[in-house]
Amino acid sequence: MTAVSPLVDRFIPRSIATDMSLVLSGALLTAVAAQVQIPMYPVPMTLQTFAVLLIAASLGPVRAVASMGLYVAMGAAGLPVFAALKPLSAVMPTAGYILGFLAAGLLVGFLATRGFSSTPARVAISFAAGSAIIYLFGAGWLVIGLGMTTAAALAAGVLPFLIGDAIKAVAAAALLPLAWKRVR
């Protein structure tokens, strides 16, 4: 498959200044999206993972990882950027998910440079893969870092979020191809 420029490069000329601005904007957008809670059962849905995956699909792998790295660093420095403005000590159970944002950004950004941000089916595949990576890191941390059983980690850290993440994947599958159509 031939490499494709990230979506944002079709709108904004590349430079060090724009790269830095996009990385910062991605981190700030993720911080804001983490605060948006939509009531759902059994857990509320935030737009945090939606922002992570959308940023990756728009910026490409390098800027996505840099953006998520900055987001993690902002939270580690004590800035209230994580969901519900929780301090770092309160997010320890979710630390694996937050670190998974880096890996998901890399994967979804890479897939975007291979054309996985231009059609609904490919966006859905890309977002499903990115979500799976986040779940792997998150549930893995619950098992390894917090001592939960695998079944308990899946029940608490994956299953409650599947419906919300499916909704976000469908929304992205509708939005990104529209953006590409505007570019063309």
- State the pLDDT at residue 101: 97
Task: Flag whether the pTM goes above 0.85.
Answer: yes
Range 159-170 average pLDDT: 90
Q: At what angle do helices 95-112 and 48-59 cross, to 10 degrees?
A: 30
Structural domain containing residue 101: 7-183
Q: Within a domain: residue 1?
A: no
Handedness of CA 66, 159, 82, 77 (dihedral sign): negative
Question: How many structural domains are present in the chain?
Answer: 1
Give the end-to-end CA distance of the chain in Å, rounded to a whole number: 20
Determine the Cα–Cα distance for residues 180 and 182; give it in Å rounded to an integer: 5
CA dihedral of residues 81, 39, 126, 70 (deg, nearest 10):
0
CATH of the domain at 15: 1.10.1760.20
86, with CB counted inside 10 A (0-12, 13-18, 19+), is middle
Q: Within a domain: residue 131?
A: yes
Handedness of CA 167, 169, 172, 173 (dihedral sign): negative
Average pLDDT of the residues of the chain? 89
Long-range interactions of 83-86: CB distance < 8 A, separation 24+: 83/34, 83/35, 83/37, 83/46, 83/48, 84/34, 84/35, 84/37, 85/35
Q: Within a domain: residue 2?
A: no
Q: Within a domain: residue 106?
A: yes
Q: Within a domain: residue 66?
A: yes
Structure tokens at 4: 């494709």
- Which tens digits make up the pLDDT trace of 65-90? 999 999 999 998 889 898 766 655 55
> Is pLDDT above 90 for 24?
yes
Q: Which of 70, 93, 71 is nearest to 82 (CA)?
A: 71
Radius of gyration of the chain measured on its C-alpha atoms: 16
